[in-house]
Amino acid sequence: MNHLVRSTSALAPHSFIPRPRGQLTIPINRLFLLAVIWTLWETAPKAWTASTAEESAAPQSFTFAWGVNGNGQVGDGTTRPRRKPNLFGNVRDAISVSSGASHNVAAQADGTVRSSGSNAAGQLGIGTTEEQHVPVPAVGLGPTSAVAAGSFFSLALLSDETVWGWGRDLSGELGDGGGPNELSPVPVPGLNDITQVSAGSTYALALHADGTISAWGEGDHGQLGNGSFDTVSPPVKVSELTDIVAVSAGGAHALALKSDGTVWAWGYDFFGELGDGASEDQPLPIQVAALSDIVVVAVAAGESHSLALAADGTVWACGLNSNGQLGDGTTTDHSTPQKVQVIGSIVDIGTGSTSSSSYAIDATGMLWAWGSNGAAQLGDGTKSDKLLPVAIPRISQARAVSGGFQQAIAIGLPQQ
């Protein structure tokens, strides 16, 4: 007689094929259960497990992403939203990460750049406009030391101190005069001594080795800092600033940190993101006077808010606060910096030019977040805004973090 076993090519509960005598017989209901278990195992997030970490040869770090995932920007091969951090594909040993409107990008220690998510404007740099749900390498790039993601474009700082860009170029975001989108990386002209690059929503900043800044792209709110409200491409110098050691481009405002620890700001100021106590756009850099008695060591510009990290480990914030992104326990906007109610001593901060969320790394490597969380971009497992910092699980020894429109990306190790 013939024994019967469920067909592996059909899902109907009464589909069978003959099986020769002598083969192992598995009851139908048990076979179905095994199939379900296998499917769940294959699709389950494994970002936080030590065994997952051991699959590669002793990486120094892993990359994690979370939040909205409708375009595959979390990089886990699905389009399902993730409320907690998951592995960003197989990206290991990243040295720089950045999050755009709907894509994430990372530079690895081997010099390669990988990204996933929306690609309608070519912001993944792969030569096509096809959306990608796992991180894929950009084409035609030399060894890269840092990346920056704008709304729909991306930038790379190469080890030879040049800057390359790809994606949306309608406002001159790529510094080549504007025009059609670029599906593959192209060089930003005139930049060959760059130490840092930062992407705003539709403009960009580059820090020169001599401490001056170049800017290009949309300038309708004065965010290029050259005294005008014009869109400019190729790059122009930001006026009246020298001895700069760090820059950050927000939605339409910019921040710069001088070597003496003072903070300078320019551009959009409707919500007080420049920290000057006013709400008038500034086309030239102004000093954030309220921080003049504080030695600042890092700055980060969000879509409409600003963060500053002091040498004593405190964090200060100003601007829009409708989602609690200033971290003071309220939703009241502030046009001068307010102290964020962080826990412990902070060593790094992050946000993004399309983000209404804020992030911080403390001295133990713990990652904290506050602000907008409607798409779980804070990574705490919920979808409710947080007016005060909350800990992000699954990541330890965090080293860098960046917020996008409704997702985020970070470098660290899995919690044990």
**Mean of the per-residue pLDDT values for the chain?**
90
pLDDT at 148 over 90: yes
The pLDDT confidence band at residue 29, using thresholds 50, 70 and 90, is low
Instruction: Write the CB contacts of 211 (distance below 8 Å, at least 6 apart in sequence).
Output: 242, 243, 244, 245, 259
Q: Residue 403 in contact with residue 352, Cβ under 8 Å?
A: yes
- Measured in whole angstroms, the distance separating CA 390 from the mean position of its chain's CA atoms is 18
For 291, list phi and psi in degrees, rounded to 5: -105, 10
Partners of 403 in beta bridges: 408
Partners of 318 in beta bridges: 306
As a whole number, mean pLDDT of residues 72-96 equals: 98
**Chain region(s) in the chain for CATH 2.130.10.30:** 50-88+294-416
The pLDDT confidence band at residue 179, using thresholds 50, 70 and 90, is confident
Tell me the C-alpha distance between 178 and 160, whole Å. Answer: 24
Q: Among the CATH numbers 2.40.50.140, 1.20.1260.10, 3.40.50.300, 2.130.10.30, which is that of 50-88+294-416?
A: 2.130.10.30
Task: List, in sequence order, every beta strand (DSSP E) within 2-42.
Answer: 3-6, 16-19
For the chain, give the percent of residues with pLDDT over 70.
86
Tell me the C-alpha distance between 184 and 320, whole Å. Answer: 35
- Give the pLDDT score at 343: 82
As a whole number, mean pLDDT of residues 57-80 equals: 95
Q: Is 11 exposed, middle or buried (0-12, 13-18, 19+ CB in 10 A)?
A: exposed
- Give the pLDDT score at 260: 97
Tell me the C-alpha distance between 369 and 357, whole Å. Answer: 7
